Structure 1
Amino acid sequence: MEKNIENVTMPPLSKLSYQLEYNAKMEQHFYFLMLHSSLAVLSHSLIAVAVDSFYYALIQHACGMFEIIGHVLENIGKNNDANFRLEVQRIDDNNYDAALDCLRRHLHVVEFVEQIEFLFANMFLVCLYSMILSSTVSGIQVMVNLDNGDSIVAPVSFYFAQFLLDYSDIPYKSICKRRWYYTSRKCRKIFLLILSRTMSPCKVTAGNIMPLSIENFGTVLKTSMSYFTVLRSFQN
């Protein structure tokens, strides 16, 4: 029996998506194994693409809502001048109604971002540690490219999280650079509520430990290089 197994001609492992150990049955069921391995790789890839696409769509929606809120805030008080009435009846104060609607929408978007954080925080924590481990293993490439920031490609999730950080600041900038002083006192109170909330930017974190951003991605690379240097010193 052992002699028959040794004489079996095994097909090249490079034809399969990943390495399989079936001994003599490999050649007999090669095409079925190849189909199974291909479907397995395809299913895993589709799951990863679906999850990432869902995450990117959520971030884009949140950034779009911040952009809309900022656009509305920029137009509040645009047509008023120095002769406006500081005390305006609420039923006639269109600026107050628009500012109140922006406040409500902003709270909804913030809650929406918190739900994104809840869904993806643990997954990004695993991805972060995996990236540190893989960067440590391939530390030579990290060390070569560390001084050349353009040659280091960050994961797309970091870029989209950075977009969220930037766009969440739009309502704050929109209020500051527009004619908020040509609005009623009630409207200004709404502006203060929005400003107080925008002081803490919306962000997606890895396990509530580290916010995802381009700056923190550079920190992860430096940490990986430090680990690689320590491991390399043990070999010497």
Structure 2
Amino acid sequence: MSCNEHYKDDIVYITQLTRNVLSVLGVWPSSNRARSAGEKIVKFLLICVSYALLYCVLIPGILFWLMEKRTRIRIQTFPMLLYCFMATSKYGNLIFRENQVKRCLKHIEEDWKIVTSADARDTMIESARTGRRLVALCGAFMYGSGLSFRSILPFAKGKIINAQNITIKPLPCPGYFFSFNSQTSPTYEMIFAMQFLSGLVTYSITTGACGLAAVFVMHACGQLRILIDLMRRLVEDQWQEKQEVDRRLAEVVEHQIRIRNFLRLVEHTLQQICLIELMGCTIIVCNLGYCIIVEWERSNTIATCSYFMSLTSMLINVFMFCYTGEQLTTQAEKVAHTSCELEWYRLPDKKARGIVLVMIMSNLPTKITAGKIMDLSLKTFGDVVKTAVTYFNMLRNVTD
């Protein structure tokens, strides 16, 4: 076939989960057609509502943290504030990078459109299916642990009676509300509902960012697998026409350059988000570890389980980013090995020289970085865990 007639269905399949999440946030790029006035208004309203829900937790939380004098309470409050700040930063980055995200999606659409063989399409679908699984797993952990933290944990703490014999009903996120009495009805219920909805926005941002990384990087992995097949077919026949060799060699070079251009665009689009995720989650993990120890000593089983679920979701989220980067690096290494193992002597005279440039380009590093500071790899994930444990030990020594 001259082109993939089902490319539109394929695009819907690989982006469905991520598109649904980011569309609710108002940051999913529009299609090739221009947005209507109604669509622009809806997009603006979604962004305003999302920001309002984020700040209704962040600002009161910061005020509460600044006014609180007890070190242990400040430490327990810090992960929530940092995670909300991370979500706000990532959300702003998604809005600012919308055109670049759109270029990445356009590039993916073109790749699916120009597929000329069923085997290549199957390879791309296999990689896309892995990306969908990663997005679904990330969303399950984020929504499951996060929403339980904002709904189950407040009720698990129960009502608190302070020194003035006043009953205090805990909120999902502590905050300072100036002259508003957050304990009276219906003020308490309204604040509780807003903080719960803010959690939905926060976890949707994280899931959407992870989804973009999974979709983009796994698509690149599929293209690298196709590149390996193109390299092998280049030398599969001992006797080839001159024009046929030139055509196949040009196809390999063009495909290789196209992949590198795509990865350069992806890294430029997601490097800030990846950096925020890795650095922020490292700090949060060590704080959550401390909270687990505190609640364990108090024999608060429900709170301990809730904190443990949040800790697990943070580690899973970091692992998702690092795993996708590791898959890309592994596939790029396979391309480099394949280029070095090509049976160049099967090519006609003087045509084998073209393999040298392919080998040089194939051995150039192909990685996704977080802010050009650290590579996304399983080694980086291990470093994050070790760093979190080190900070956790330091935190215990300081507060004991």
Answer with 1 or 2: which has the greater Rg: 1
- CA shift, 1:139, in A, is 5.8
1:156 and 1:181 mapped to 2: Cα distance? 42
Segment drifting more, 194-203 vs 108-117: 194-203
- 1:176-215 maps to which residues of 2 (within 5 A)? 176-215=340-379
Letter of the 1:19 partner, please give it: P
2:206 and 2:375 mapped to 1: Cα distance? 21
Asked if residue 168 in structure 1 is aligned to residue 300 in structure 2, the reply is no
Change (3 A) 1:222 1:51: closer
SS in 2 for 1:93: helix
Task: Using the aligned pairs only, state the percent identity.
Answer: 20
> Hey, what does 1:119 align to over in structure 2?
269
2:282 and 2:166 mapped to 1: Cα distance? 42
Q: 1:76·1:98 contact (CA, 8 Å) conserved in 2?
A: yes
- 1:1-236 maps to which residues of 2 (within 5 A)? 12-13=169-170, 17-20=172-175, 21=177, 22-23=180-181, 26-80=184-238, 84=239, 92-138=242-288, 155-232=319-396
- Aligned pair count reads 210
Cα shift readout 1:103-159 (whole Å, capped 9, x = no counterpart): 111111111111111112122222222233234335679xxxxxxxxxx86521000
Change (3 A) 1:136 1:178: same
TM-score, with length taken from structure 2: 0.46
Change (3 A) 1:56 1:183: same
Which of structures 1 and 2 has the larger relative contact order (alpha carbons within 8 angstroms, sep 6+)? 1
Q: 2:182·2:191 contact (CA, 8 Å) conserved in 1?
A: no
| More helix as a share of residues | 2
Root-mean-square deviation over aligned CA pairs: 3.0
Cα shift readout 1:10-49 (whole Å, capped 9, x = no counterpart): 6x335xx433544167413344333322322212222222
Q: 1:172·1:194 contact (CA, 8 Å) conserved in 2?
A: no
